[in-house]
Amino acid sequence: MRKTFLLITLFFTFFSIELFAAKNLYLSYKKIPSNVYKNQKFEVVVKALVTTNNFTNLTSSFSESSNITLLNPNSSWKKISNDTYENSYYFKVKSGNFRLPDIEVKLWSGDSLIDISQLSSTPIRYSDIGNGDDRFSHIIADNILLKAYKTKQYNNKEALTIIDIDAQNSNLEDFKLKNIEEQGISNIKEWEGTQNLVYYFVTPIYQKNLIFTYYNSMTKSFKDVKIPLILQNELVSTQTDLNPNDSTFEKYKKVAAIIIFILFLLLFIWKRKKWLLLLVVITFVVAVLYNLPNQKGIVKQDSFVYILPTKNSTIFFKVDKEEKVEILQRKNGFIKILGVDNGFIGWIKEESFGTN
């Protein structure tokens, strides 16, 4: 009887060892936030313990999530040590009613499945911030660095500012300034947790600075970023900062052309000289040319509007529908345009211009 008991005990001990040894993949959360904010991009780090060397790769899949966006579902696993692997997944939520997905990881040897392990969702608290702050830019980041800024005269009443920002672990794609009508993303890129944003906005020409706030996720507090709006001294014809129609000099030229025509016309009526008739005709043609309205047309849908008439110019914005415009100037294959409905000024390529 005792011998039988020992055999049974040895059998179950051996079976348990074999059962344990058959498990080759164990998952756990290495990093997960306890609280997240609206539009915050947050990181979840998953750790995989692999107890075999006979495998080729790890794959991940996600299920049972709701009201949450996984930003890098195809992120690769990185080897940390001989038996430890990690993967960083970035998520974003827009409302409090969300659920982190269940994560399933498979261990493969070629086309053969070795093991499967699952990591269940865990609750995370949610907060909505900045609702009452008119300066809040909708950005949550570990840090923001204002690298560069430049302000130019946009038209006679407004200034155009372009800013260059770097941020760590941020959502710069959601950047927006309150109480500013004309603004937008000119360029955005990301690498290894750092985002870079080039952004433009238009303000009244008398405004001397602009302050926006962001929420610093490291210090758990709001931080101010101040942008001086200092107008550059130079005004050149290649820029989008001046509307010739509003130029005092242009108005004087138009009025002067009409006055000179009238003077020569009166002089011809008085003297009745043939050579004066020639001058009347010439001044009439000049006055008409100066006072002709600008050619009108449209900017084609999905065309880009540029800051300068150059190949490497920053894109001002992209038109999402046909826009009625006036032609102000032509240069180097570009056309300087004035928006009929919203008054914007910029440069487009000639192929982007069409007629009604």
Q: What does the pLDDT read at residue 11? A: 47
Q: Residue 15 pLDDT more than 50?
A: no
pLDDT digits (tens, 9 = 90+) for 284-294: 887 776 666 66
Q: Residue 212 pLDDT more than 90?
A: yes
pLDDT digits (tens, 9 = 90+) for 54-98: 888 999 999 998 889 998 999 999 999 889 999 999 999 888 888
Model confidence band, residue 32 (pLDDT cutoffs 50, 70, 90): very high
Q: Residue 158 pLDDT more than 60?
A: yes
Q: Residue 154 pLDDT more than 80?
A: no
* Overall average pLDDT of the 162-172 stretch: 90
Three-class secondary structure assignment of the chain: CHHHHHHHHHHHHHHHHHHHHCCCEEEEEEECCCEEECCCEEEEEEEEEECCCCCCEEEEEEECCECEEECCCCCCCEECCCCEEEEEEEEEECCCCCECCEEEEEEEECCEEEEEEEECCCCCEEECCCCCCCCEEEEEECEEEEEEEEEEECCCCEEEEEEEEEEECCCHHHCCCCCCCCEEEEEEEEECCEEEEEEEEEEECCCCEEEEEEEECCCCEEEEEEEECCECCCCCCCCCCCCHHHCHHHHHHHHHHHHHHHHHHHHHHHHCCHHHHHHHHHHHHHHHHHHCCCCEEEECCCCEEECCCCCCCCEEEECCCCEEEEEEEEECCEEEEEECCCCCEEEEEHHHEECC
* Overall average pLDDT of the 87-110 stretch: 90
Q: Calculate what percentage of the chain has a pLDDT beyond 70.
A: 82
Most confident region among 181-190, 194-203, 335-344 by mean pLDDT? 194-203
Q: What does the pLDDT read at residue 259? A: 86
pLDDT digits (tens, 9 = 90+) for 305-353: 877 776 666 666 677 778 888 877 788 788 888 776 666 677 888 888 8
Average pLDDT over the chain, rounded to an integer: 81
